[in-house]
Amino acid sequence: MAGGPGRPEPASGTKRVGVFGGTFDPPHVGHLIVARDAAETLGLDGVVLVPAARPPHKTSTHATSADLRLAMVNATVADDPILSVLAIELARPGPSYTVDTLRQLKVENPAAELFLLIGADQWRQLGTWKEPEQIGVLATISVMAREGEDPETVDLGLGLTYQRVPVTRLDISSTEVRSRVREGRSIRYLVPRQVEEIIRSNQLYGA
């Protein structure tokens, strides 16, 4: 796996790898907490954050440039030995499909055991994703759910299985962070300091 700029390659011999995708516009502390919780619960050797170039299921026209989102994600995980960044979806033209990313990771790391880290809301939508059955073949689907969230209530009718990963979910979203910046409110403690500096210096989200 190729690490992001300034990030080392995952250590040789890494076997259990979490794959955590998203637009990360911007990344926030909630992303870090659930990624760390999943790594500890599943006994992962590492978690790779995969910024999406063009998510097929998001219709919003709002989008920060790929370079700036990648810079923010790299800044987010800079001091964490477990978390790293993969920019493969940003380098690939067209919509970012999870199944394509997992296939590429398996080709590059055939010995790795992949764990796809998704939220309960994404699990409910998985039947609309490209080749959902193949996703379940390529990776263990790991649904990160906080107390009170019950993915089992959804039957996708695809024969897919998943494992529930209890995580600490903060009531925070990238949408809220963008809104707070636009309204001139503080985002301190909601995003890492380095991410806030990138937002301010590049006047993102109306800063």
What is the pLDDT at residue 59? 57
Least confident of 13-17, 80-84, 124-128, 186-190: 13-17
pLDDT confidence band for 11 (50 / 70 / 90): very low
Q: For residue range 63-106, list pLDDT tens digits in order.
A: 799 999 999 999 999 999 999 999 999 999 888 899 999 999 99
Q: How far apart are CA 124 and CA 1, in angstroms?
A: 29
Domain spanning 16-170 has what CATH number?
3.40.50.620
pLDDT confidence band for 5 (50 / 70 / 90): very low
Query: ∠ CA(174), CA(26), CA(73), 5° rounding?
Result: 135
Q: What is the rounded average pLDDT of the residues 173-188? A: 97
Q: Is residue 137's pLDDT more than 60?
A: yes
What distances in angstroms separate CA 166 from CA 66, 154, 169, one per listed residue?
Answer: 31, 17, 9
Terminal CA-CA length for the chain = 35
pLDDT confidence band for 161 (50 / 70 / 90): confident
Q: Does residue 147 or residue 46 have the better pLDDT?
A: 46
Domain boundaries defined on the chain: 16-170
Q: Is residue 173's pLDDT more than 50?
A: yes
